[in-house]
Structure 1
């Protein structure tokens, strides 16, 4: 997916280095690799790109394509149009795929007894734990978007996801779906709650229009917290 991904485990040494843990980590990375096979926009042979060209019939496509398409439509609806998988008229669901993919990878780790885990995918995170583990929270630093390397705030996350959207790392790569205008202002929006997929969607929506998205998020999805910098 064009980004660094790391997996961190906590627990007794015998548990984090157990065959079950090693297998689960390998399965998590394998899951992400398979997602890349299906959804990469950088590879002409990915199923997404073949489908976009009309070279892959829907009946032969991986079911993930239809699942993600449905989730993108739901995200567009829930955010009042502040999240969209369309860019300059072209379908690109990768803004949702990352959170969805990392959550899928995390499910492999959630079966390992007596560990807690955190997956970091380009600064977006999923935390959780396996059976029989009494976890302590992961302390996550939120970088000040105007001062590289400076921590503006910290968040404790035991189980769930955290995502940040903004221009500090990748420049003006986001557009307002309502008019197609690029968003070049400084700052960031961070969201954390039960699901990384939806934290990521709402972080994007909040950066596009903080005022409108804040009202919707706080009114309809109170399980999610946010910080706009």
Structure 2
């Protein structure tokens, strides 16, 4: 079974290789992703995030889901010494770097809870898998028609942060300027929540982000720095 929908401004594709595909679980995946977009988008004036940012909702009045998202934001802000921050001076609250991986991971958990054992959920290039192995290509950071590595992934998630799709959109919150030092960084982790947040935070840190991400429990790293050097951990699951 394969299904693709546009959610959160990017295509989300689901491939299920089980013989029996629970249609209700597949529908629940996309319904949840649309719900998460409506609730946590900083671009929708009626979202819970925007209402909090405008002061219409107090910090103690947010939903349990938003409280979890904000706690993750704070955890990574502290862990990066302030390089990763969803609250920048002169800008509104923008937790998109957390919401994407967190919400897609929850969607994957819905599939697992329904008994789906082999699937690949791809959200704009960030991937969470069950079963395997699945082959996941890492795009060349400067050539859209090339890949620089292929990973073999089983029951894991992969996320990449780079500037080749959206320009210099990742800022080093310590300076307020676009992050420098890395062209791309890919993280393999047990969940897409961890992989996506770690990739974004590492990119914000710049050159020091590779060592920082490598020290995170369960994380493997494949990065290309601004000097076009490949930096990777020894256990990153490269395909033969």
3-state SS in 2 of match to 1:141: strand
Distance 1:105 1:191 in 2: 19
Q: Following TM superposition, by how much is the alpha carbon of 1:47 offset from its aligned partner in structure 2, in angstroms?
A: 1.2
1:69/1:121 CA distance change after superposition, 3 Å: same
Equivalence for 2:31: 30
Q: Following TM superposition, by how much is the alpha carbon of 1:114 offset from its aligned partner in structure 2, in angstroms?
A: 5.6
RMSD of aligned Cα (Å): 1.9
Unpaired segments ≥5 residues, structure 2: 1-7, 225-240
Q: Following TM superposition, by how much is the alpha carbon of 1:174 offset from its aligned partner in structure 2, in angstroms?
A: 1.1
Distance 1:187 1:59 in 2: 39
Deviates more, 1:69-78 or 1:81-90: 81-90
Distance 1:81 1:103 in 2: 25
Q: Is the 8 A contact 1:83 1:201 kept in 2?
A: no
Match of 2:192 among 193, 196, 212: 196
Equivalence for 1:80: 81
Match of 1:216 among 198, 202, 212: 212
Q: Is the 8 A contact 2:80 2:205 kept in 1?
A: no
Equivalence for 2:67: 66
The count of aligned residue pairs is 216
3-state SS in 2 of match to 1:202: helix
Match of 1:110 among 82, 87, 112: 112
Q: Following TM superposition, by how much is the alpha carbon of 1:37 offset from its aligned partner in structure 2, in angstroms?
A: 1.8
> After superposition, where does 1:61-210 map in structure 2 within 5 Å?
61-89=62-90, 90-113=92-115, 115-128=117-130, 135-183=131-179, 187-210=183-206
Q: Is the 8 A contact 1:191 1:200 kept in 2?
A: yes
Unpaired segments ≥5 residues, structure 1: 129-134
Q: Following TM superposition, by how much is the alpha carbon of 1:41 offset from its aligned partner in structure 2, in angstroms?
A: 1.6
Q: Is the 8 A contact 1:79 1:202 kept in 2?
A: no
3-state SS in 2 of match to 1:155: strand
Q: Deviations over 1:187-224 (max 9, x none)?
A: 21110111211111221122223432222232342x21
Distance 1:102 1:210 in 2: 26
Q: Following TM superposition, by how much is the alpha carbon of 1:170 offset from its aligned partner in structure 2, in angstroms?
A: 0.4
Distance 1:158 1:33 in 2: 27
Q: Is the 8 A contact 1:163 1:199 kept in 2?
A: yes
3-state SS in 1 of match to 2:176: coil
